Amino acid sequence: MSSITLEPDTRDQVAAALAGDGWIVACLCAAWCGTCSSYRAGFDALAARHPDKTFVWIDIEDQAATVGDLDVENFPTLLLQRGDDVAFFGTMVPDPNVADRLLQAQASLADADLARQAAAQPERQAFNLRVLFANADE
């Protein structure tokens, strides 16, 4: 399975995944970014290695109504979220193996530890895709 590209026709699929308690792994990128373009195949391969998680490719310019004022400083930017807990949001080295290690480390945390870690950095909630999707629907 490869990643889902957030588009108008896949929005419901992504929203359904966000409504659950599974892991969402989102790559925030831009179509003009050569680094993002070359990273896409590795991101899709990572998605294939983790079929129990939902991988979403989000072009921040095409999906500006959804991501709003989300401040992406560099590309690729990775977001790891489970339920309402944003486990990670930040620029990544465009190496799927690094993303894989980060994902495995976060996914191995107990629910309480993940919630505690997310709560310890409240600024992460600005990057909560559930909230961004809800605000985009208003």
Radius of gyration of the chain (CA): 14
Inside any domain, residue 57: yes
Taking alpha carbons only, the member of 82, 65, 83, 35 closest to residue 135 is: 65
| 58-76 per-residue burial string, b: 16 or more CB within 10 A, e: under 16 | bbbebbeebbeebebeebb
In this prediction, residue 69 carries a pLDDT of 66
**Tell me, what CATH number does 46's domain have?**
3.40.30.10
In this prediction, residue 133 carries a pLDDT of 83
Per-residue pLDDT of 113-132, as tens digits, reads 999 988 888 777 778 888 88
pLDDT higher than 80, residue 1: no
Count of structural domains within the chain:
1
Domain interval for residue 46: 4-133
Inside any domain, residue 38: yes
Inside any domain, residue 138: no
In this prediction, residue 119 carries a pLDDT of 87
Report the predicted TM-score, pTM, of the whole model to 2 decimal places: 0.92
In this prediction, residue 124 carries a pLDDT of 76
Inside any domain, residue 94: yes
Inside any domain, residue 50: yes
The answer to whether the CB of 106 falls within 8 A of the CB of 98 is no
Per-residue pLDDT of 5-51, as tens digits, reads 999 999 999 999 999 999 999 999 999 999 999 999 999 999 999 99
In this prediction, residue 137 carries a pLDDT of 66
Inside any domain, residue 81: yes
Report the run of H or E that residue 65 belongs to, with start and end: helix 64-67
